[in-house]
Amino acid sequence: MKREKKQIETEMIHGGPERNYEGSLAAPIFQTSTFSFSSAAEGERRFAGEEEGYIYTRLGNPTVRALEDRIAVLEGGEKGLAFASGMAAVSAVLIALTKTGDHILCSNGLYGCTFGLLTMMEEKYDITHSFSHMRTEEEVREQITDRTTCVFIETPINPTMRVIDLEIVAKAAKEYGVPVVVDNTFCTPYLQRPLEKGCDIVIHSATKYISGHGDVIAGLVVGDEEFMNRLRMSEQKDIGGVLSPFDAWLLLRGLKTLHVRMDRHSSNAQVIADKLASHPRVERVYYPGVREIDSPAGRQMRNGGGVVAFELSGGKREAQNFIDRLSFIRIAVSLGDAETLIQHPASMTHAVVPAHKREEMGITDSLIRLSVGLEAADDIWHDIYQALSV
């Protein structure tokens, strides 16, 4: 049964076709690898695509489907697919959009493993890539060649928190018929909806805010029906990085509180960003300027999200000493969890990026990335403040 479209807070909880399994409020976990057919002919019809129905969990599963339908509604796309990790989602999409000799145009900064994947694709398959600041349409156009088959961006960029104007990128890429893929991990559809800005495909590491509890590794993709069907029947099915039903269930649970958590992550992070900015040991703070209405962040983001990056005076040693002095803030990669997490990108998430590239991307040795959690903002600040006060 199709439901009338509701506001996003409601869709977090109800989005997608209504499913009634014996009145169960929580989605049942279909913890099964395969599905039996009532006859050989039925099996044949399902494999031929002539009949709806499940076959084998790598090709689809009701719990996973409930999640895929929900994320499609939330992003305002036609279809969603779930993957075993954010990287499984990123690699499936990039493989789907490229072949040997093609070129990928990227934001000037990407998660370290995405950078690693691009390097591997270049070395093994001659699928090249280049980076652009993408501050103007002209800057995007300049690097689109007749070999460019995909524009791939993060905004805000991990870990520098620089914001890219989605409308500028979508407009320039459209002129050349090149699809724009947006890794929307840092924002989630609650804070930013790239498809509404003219972009074509959205990716998530659902490991982060969508799960929200630091207990799942997962990825999601949303796009138009034609592309997503192709992705499902080829890169997802045949490479096989699918999500387990239990992990899909955890994500459905996480989604129910996503909007509430994102509001608190954002308000806590804004407090911490402001306090950091006025501390004498802090040289620079990077946090999306959503308070400037007429800026890319102000136009496309509902709020700034939970990640703050900053540079301390000094270098790597001072940054590491500061991190080691924290008390309850945990030293860990990942982000989007209830716990505040801190990490040093140059030696952790982005250590695989060569030093000269890190410099071009703005990942200095003094850059620190904080994923502001859901604890009391005062407690978070006190921990940071005492670690800075030496």
Give the residues lining the site for ligand LCS (CB under 6 A): 85-87, 90, 111, 113-114, 154, 158, 183, 185, 205, 207, 217, 219, 333-335, 349
Q: At its nearest, how many Å lie between ligand LCS and the CB of residue 53?
A: 30
Give the CA count within 13 Å in the CB-facing half-sphere of 345.
Answer: 33
| Spatial separation of the C-alpha atoms in residues 114 and 343, rounded to whole Å | 18
Q: At its nearest, how many Å lie between ligand LCS and the CB of residue 18?
A: 29
Q: Which is nearer to ligand LCS, 219 or 306 (CB)?
A: 219
Q: Which is nearer to ligand LCS, 268 or 371 (CB)?
A: 371
The H or E element containing residue 209 is: none
Q: Which is nearer to ligand LCS, 333 or 374 (CB)?
A: 333
| Spatial separation of the C-alpha atoms in residues 116 and 122, rounded to whole Å | 10
- The C-alpha R_g of the chain, in whole angstroms, comes to 21
Nearest to 162 by CA among 128, 141, 186, 178: 186
Amino acid at 199: C
- Kindly report the number of other CB atoms within 10 A of residue 99's CB atom: 10
Residue with tokens 């031929």: 48
Residue of minimal Cβ distance to ligand LCS: 86
Q: Which is nearer to ligand LCS, 46 or 344 (CB)?
A: 344
Q: Which is nearer to ligand LCS, 46 or 87 (CB)?
A: 87
Q: Which is nearer to ligand LCS, 46 or 212 (CB)?
A: 212
Q: At its nearest, how many Å lie between ligand LCS and the CB of residue 332?
A: 8
Q: At its nearest, how many Å lie between ligand LCS and the CB of residue 334?
A: 4
Q: Which is nearer to ligand LCS, 29 or 217 (CB)?
A: 217
Percent of the chain that is helix, strand, coil (3-state, to 5): 40, 15, 40
- Helix (H/G/I), strand (E/B), else coil: 363: coil
Omega before residue 62 within 30° of 0, cis: no
Q: At its nearest, how many Å lie between ligand LCS and the CB of residue 224?
A: 21
Q: What are phi and psi of 75, to 5 degrees?
A: -85, -10
DSSP letter at 13 equals H
Q: At its nearest, how many Å lie between ligand LCS and the CB of residue 255?
A: 16
Q: At its nearest, how many Å lie between ligand LCS and the CB of residue 59?
A: 22
373 contacts 340 by C-beta, under 8 angstroms: yes
Quote the strand ranges of 40-179, DSSP E: 79-83, 103-107, 128-132, 148-154
Provide the edge-to-edge strand list for the sheet that holds 201-205: 79-83, 219-223, 201-205, 180-183, 148-154, 103-107, 128-132
Q: Which is nearer to ligand LCS, 320 or 334 (CB)?
A: 334
Q: At its nearest, how many Å lie between ligand LCS and the CB of residue 30?
A: 23
Per the DSSP assignment, residues forming a β-bridge with 56 are 34
